[in-house]
Structure formats: C-alpha cells, structure tokens
C-alpha cells in the first residue's frame, strides 16, 4: 500500500503444510536496510535461500560502492537473480517496497522468472 511519502507491506506469519500448521512466527518480510523491505511469498526453503543470496549480494554492493543500494537497484538485482534461474527457477513472487529519492514510495513485484512490475504511485 502506498501513501504520500510512505508505504506499508504486510503478510501472514503462518507456515503450514496443507491443513497442518507448523509455525505461526515464520518471517516473510525482511528489512534489507532502513529504506526498503523485501517480501517473499514462496516455499520456506526457497524463501530462505533467495533471501540469503540477496543479502550477500547487497553486502557486496555496500562494500564495493560504500553506500546503500537504492530500491530500484535492488529490484533489478532481484530480477537478475530470478532470471538466472529461469529454467530451474525459484518459485516465488518477491515484493520490494521502499522509499526512493526524495522519499518517493517504490513498490515492485515480480514473477518467478524475474519480470518486474512497478506499482503506480
């Protein structure tokens, strides 16, 4: 959800197999840094693997560039990682939500092959 100079992202915390609930505290939304969040709707193993790869690449970017990644740049990174695995893909739908330049909200979602779609703000 997007507002004036703000955004909101929400998800459920249930981890289950069919009708059986395994846990009620599974984290689907992760804070990448102060300006944006990543939401992953996927199987638990896929979400954890993809999250670890994205955090690793984000930290490499911080070391090399000595600054935080912008939301748009992170969306391109997620898209590239998903496209790399397009034939044995990660079955997930990531949502990137954050604040861009001048506190302009940015929300982007993707399919499992990395095709991005930005929300109108």
50: CATH: 3.60.20.10
Predicted structure pTM score: 0.87
Please check whether residue 56 is in contact with residue 67, taking contact to mean a CB–CB distance below 8 angstroms: no
- In whole angstroms, what is the distance from residue 5 CA to residue 103 CA? 5
Report d(CA 6, CA 84) in Å as an integer.
32
Q: Determine the Cα–Cα distance for residues 118 and 64; give it in Å rounded to an integer.
A: 27
- Tens-binned pLDDT, residue by residue, of the chain (121 aa): 888 888 899 999 898 888 999 999 989 999 999 989 999 988 888 899 999 999 999 999 999 999 999 999 999 999 999 998 888 888 899 999 999 888 899 999 998 888 888 887 6
Q: Give the range of the structural domain holding residue 73, as residue numbers without chain letter.
A: 2-118
Count up the domains in the chain and report the number.
1
């Amino acid at each position: 959800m997007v507002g004036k100079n703000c955004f909101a992202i929400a998800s459920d915390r249930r981890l289950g197999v069919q009708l059986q609930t395994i846990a009620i505290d599974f984290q689907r939304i992760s804070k990448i840094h102060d300006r944006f969040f990543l939401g992953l709707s996927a199987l638990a193993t896929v979400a954890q693997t993809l999250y670890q790869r994205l955090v690793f690449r984000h930290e490499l970017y911080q070391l090399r560039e000595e600054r935080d990644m912008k939301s748009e740049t992170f969306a391109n990174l997620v898209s590239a990682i998903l496209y790399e695995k397009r034939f044995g893909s990660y079955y997930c739908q990531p949502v990137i939500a954050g604040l861009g330049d001048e506190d302009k909200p940015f929300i982007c979602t993707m399919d499992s092959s990395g095709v991005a779609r930005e929300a109108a703000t």
